[in-house]
């Protein structure tokens, strides 16, 4: 079995800016486990454990679904939590420009692989980069206030590639590797 997801990566420049923002937020005493910077990405669809023999049919379906998609600009800005209450589980950076195109990509991916028997996503897709997972509510009010007063603004980047990814869970955390690359038309 291969733990699998479909993702868009953000460029190294924005990864560094996101990591700097994490460092800024880490100064607060919170119960957040921060995502390692090499794991920062936009998940379009999490597939979970997939039989290795099905990877080639996933590649084929994704290639067909994404073949007509063109590259576009997006901007990584804003921040928040899911759910947006005083007991959040996820800390994220948002997407402004390009969000509707990312929603479309996620929908195309979801539709393509549902034809292979994978369950469709029931929740509406909200493009974001997860930067932390809340393990306890310690310091959450201060975190939310700080994020509200100092929102993230990383700037624009080009979305030109979608990846089928493998996630291997280790003691040090998840390690990601690329299974397949899908280039969007230029």
What is the set of active-site residues? Answer: 41, 128
Cα distance between residue 163 and residue 183, in whole Å: 9
Measured torsion, CA atoms of residues 186, 92, 43, 133, in degrees rounded to the nearest 10: 150
Cα distance between residue 151 and residue 6, in whole Å: 27
Query: Tokens representing 177?
Result: 């590797």
Cα distance between residue 113 and residue 47, in whole Å: 9
Paired residues of 8 in beta bridges: 42
Cα distance between residue 167 and residue 151, in whole Å: 29
- How many other CB atoms are found less than 10 A from the CB of residue 67? 11
Query: Tokens representing 59?
Result: 């590649």
Cα distance between residue 167 and residue 49, in whole Å: 9
Alpha-carbon distances, residue 69 vs 13, 159, 176, 177 (angstroms): 25, 11, 25, 23
């Amino acid at each position: 079995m291969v733990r699998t997801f479909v993702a868009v990566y953000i460029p190294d420049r924005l990864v560094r800016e996101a990591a700097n923002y994490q460092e800024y937020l880490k100064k607060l005493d919170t119960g957040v486990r921060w995502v390692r910077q090499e794991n920062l990405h936009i998940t379009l669809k999490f597939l979970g454990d997939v039989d290795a023999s099905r990877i080639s049919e996933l590649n084929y379906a994704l290639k067909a679904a994404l073949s007509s998609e063109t590259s576009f600009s997006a901007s990584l800005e804003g921040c928040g939590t899911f759910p947006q209450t005083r007991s959040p589980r996820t800390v994220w950076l948002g997407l402004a420009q390009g969000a509707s195109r990312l929603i479309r990509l996620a929908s195309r991916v979801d539709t393509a692989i549902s034809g292979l028997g994978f369950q469709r996503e029931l929740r509406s897709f909200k493009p974001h980069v997860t930067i932390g997972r809340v393990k306890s509510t310690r310091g959450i009010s201060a975190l939310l206030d700080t994020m509200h007063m100092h929102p993230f603004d990383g700037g624009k980047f080009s979305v030109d590639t979608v990846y089928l990814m493998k996630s291997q869970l280790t003691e040090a955390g998840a390690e990601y590797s690329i299974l397949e690359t899908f280039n969007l038309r230029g």
